[in-house]
A and B are shown apart, each in its own frame.
Chain A
């Protein structure tokens, strides 16, 4: 009790300090809308944004922030809003691949990182601070998350064997039982090829050929009867908790809450974790006051301190290089968050950043082949 109270007051202090510093750096927004709608994914993730970005921003500027939890359908809804000429969202949280699509469709506005985003405290321009993570002209990266593997630690049939790499998914001899994988080709075909002896740098070259796709599907075919396919990130934790599946893939943040918060007998692997990015876009078609407000908000919410703050509430890595040293302890559990970041050097020994450009080109094609394979 005392501990929590102490922590809370420490947080309150830091929040005050934070607002003060931010007010110094960020000039007030002139002629800006005083209300904004921010769209995100809901759940623990939205909560982390509320604590780290929305509340300090509202406190600083007095802007009223309306939360909408529609990120899962953001691309389709934005297109519909755009066609109806009535865009009601100001800032939208989407994964990088969706940001790319929105940019391609002209539904998201282009951002110049160096002039429109905050520089790092040491003056490094934003474009260098974010580096390679600026995968699209319209995308403002926020977090790095990864899709990775977890497994139950109490499986008697495995006779003490413990999965040590991603290929355990394909090893039904040593690790019998159901495994849960995401119901889409992305990640699965890459893992299949990696575990079929293809070198990491050759994966997309191989996948670009019909034979390569066939090879990946053939590898997946060896575990076809053992797979439960998930489509929502919450499914694998549930399946693992029920022993319905014994190993499976999901986002690293889900594993964190399953293992650290719910204390389930589950462990996770960082091997061959597939990095993905999540961040903001600003829709096109907003009037000037709203655009200005949206830009003002993202400049605040993606500065070095704010990105580091978010990791107090959820185990996703901040997208700025300069934020990494600032990652502290979990706001409630009080454990060090750095070792739980996908970007932590110990975890990032063997990672895989998927090729957005390649998937933008081939997603529809691969999806058709994957779905056909699934339905056979």
Chain B
């Protein structure tokens, strides 16, 4: 009675717009908000260690790994000048790029071999263009022996000032730098990096004259300028620039080149192979879809995206097989696990404990031990075949092949994953009161009818939980399939492991992993749509 009066007075006060206050005169709303916020922050502090742990050990590494499936900055970083010079090259033409690209390549490679990263980019491009890794590897040491001074000498012959460090100080501080000298700017930075690596950090680049490669790139920048632009440099209002470029517009057409293209062709004939250049150009952007394309058995060629030749397609087959086998294993777990869980739930505590131990015992045994035991049991000279031959069910020369194929994978994995099905089923069945079945029977239902209409629907939540557990664990397994799967019973995870630890093609591994993750999420979403994730019960 009193409470309702108080409530009434409260509501009437609210209706009149008079604010509720706490004892110290603060508006109640703000005070409450502050208290709640404090609570929230305190709660956040409590979960902070967990949050940090999950972020650092889980989200961040996985995100980083998945990012590798598209990341491709290595080409742009290792061959910056070449990438810029290649922009003007038509990859659909039948001709290998010209001298301009090769002088940029020579300059990029000079730095790359100094930093010993030229082989790394070879490995990367080799994933898409087999054969190119040795082109880069073999070129490394011979870059230093290239003839590279023709342009430099010509510049100096024209005007001795070109042979001084001041020329470069003038050039780099001019208004046209770096926009008008795209290749030279990159080459100049490359040279500075080379100098730092070769001579140490204490040497000041502004006291040094660049090597010939830088001049070669300057020559190409100048000779590809429109006539007016070059004349403008020679007549520049900046007198230092004007004197430096005086005479250049007339002389530039007669400058000799080093014939880098010819020299590279001598080092390794792969440099004049147009397909190699198409691959380099295709992989120039910082992000690539080449890993994802490879993960679905396709490739990008000059003719666009297309399927790989039939003798190189197998990832899609492998994805399909992974999913189909995982479903088969899940179904096998339901079939085998259901009766056991039923027994566990209905037998007396003493016998059910014994069965529970039998279920859990293999669960506690090492995965490798269990898998190896299956080898002993299933192989053609193994225990099961020996037994069958001894009984006379199969002939000695007709022993069953039960391992190193799909059968082996299904048997071994069903066994390994069975507890993950039995335990959720058992905990759900435990909660079903026996009186339901008795009630159904008392109303005249047969055993079968009572089971299918009363008992089974009550266990669906357990089946759902068990299936999700088993399926998701199965789809990512790789040790067991690798040991007992032979050639037809291996999963996509085996290929992911191979690319991570053996071939070092982490980009492809990341792409395969991303696809697998998306597939699992899609299946989960479908499951949620059809069955509803709320219906999953672990107990």
Q: Mark B505-516, 1 if CB is under 8 A from A, else 0.
A: 110000000000
Stretch of B126-134, B256-264, B465-473 that contacts chain A: B126-134
Interface centre among A367, A369, A372 (most CB of B within 10 A): A372
Whether B502 sits at the interface, judged by CB under 8 Å, is: yes
**CB within 8 Å of A: which B93-145 residues:** 116-117, 119-120, 122-123, 126-127, 130-134, 137
Beta-carbon contact of A361 and B123 below 8 Å: no
Whether B381 sits at the interface, judged by CB under 8 Å, is: yes
Which B residues are in CB contact (< 8 Å) with A364? 126-127, 130, 503, 505
When the two chains form the complex, which single residue of A104, A242, A243, A363 contacts B120, counting CB atoms closer than 8 Å? A104
Which B residues are in CB contact (< 8 Å) with A73? 501
Beta-carbon contact of A244 and B501 below 8 Å: no
Which B residues are in CB contact (< 8 Å) with A375? 314, 317-318, 321, 487-488
Return A270 CB to nearest CB of chain B, in Å.
28
Beta-carbon contact of B501 and A76 below 8 Å: yes
**CB within 8 Å of A: which B334-381 residues:** 379-381
Whether A11 sits at the interface, judged by CB under 8 Å, is: no
How many chain A residues sit at the interface, stated as a range, is 35 or more
Q: Mark A96-117, 1 if CB is under 8 A from B, else 0.
A: 0000010111100010000000
Whether B214 sits at the interface, judged by CB under 8 Å, is: no
Given contacts A372-B313, A375-B487, contact A105 B504 (CB under 8 A): yes
Interface of A is mostly: helix
Beta-carbon contact of B130 and A362 below 8 Å: yes
Beta-carbon contact of B381 and A361 below 8 Å: no
Return B67 CB to nearest CB of chain A, in Å.
13
What is the total number of residues of chain B having a CB less than 8 Å from a CB of chain A? 39
Q: Mark A284-319, 1 if CB is under 8 A from B, else 0.
A: 000000000000000000000000000000000000
Whether A173 sits at the interface, judged by CB under 8 Å, is: no
Whether A66 sits at the interface, judged by CB under 8 Å, is: no
Given contacts A368-B314, A373-B311, A375-B487, contact A363 B503 (CB under 8 A): yes
Q: Closest B residue to A98 by CB, please name it.
A: B502
When the two chains form the complex, which single residue of A244, A362, A369 contacts B311, counting CB atoms closer than 8 Å? A369
When the two chains form the complex, which single residue of B133, B313, B495, B503 contacts A361, counting CB atoms closer than 8 Å? B133
Whether B312 sits at the interface, judged by CB under 8 Å, is: yes
Beta-carbon contact of A368 and B312 below 8 Å: yes
Return A15 CB to nearest CB of chain B, in Å.
37
Which A residues are in CB contact (< 8 Å) with B476? none
Given contacts A228-B404, A244-B380, A364-B126, contact A372 B314 (CB under 8 A): yes
Whether A14 sits at the interface, judged by CB under 8 Å, is: no
Listed from nearest, the 10 A-B pairs whose CB atoms lie closest are A104-B119, A365-B130, A372-B314, A76-B501, A374-B487, A368-B312, A361-B131, A361-B134, A73-B501, A106-B116
- List 8 A-B pairs, Cβ < 8 Å: A104-B133, A105-B123, A106-B119, A231-B482, A365-B130, A365-B312, A371-B314, A372-B312
Known: A75-B502, A104-B119, A375-B487. 11 other contacts (CB 8 A): A75-B501, A106-B120, A213-B311, A228-B486, A229-B404, A229-B487, A242-B381, A357-B134, A368-B308, A371-B495, A375-B321
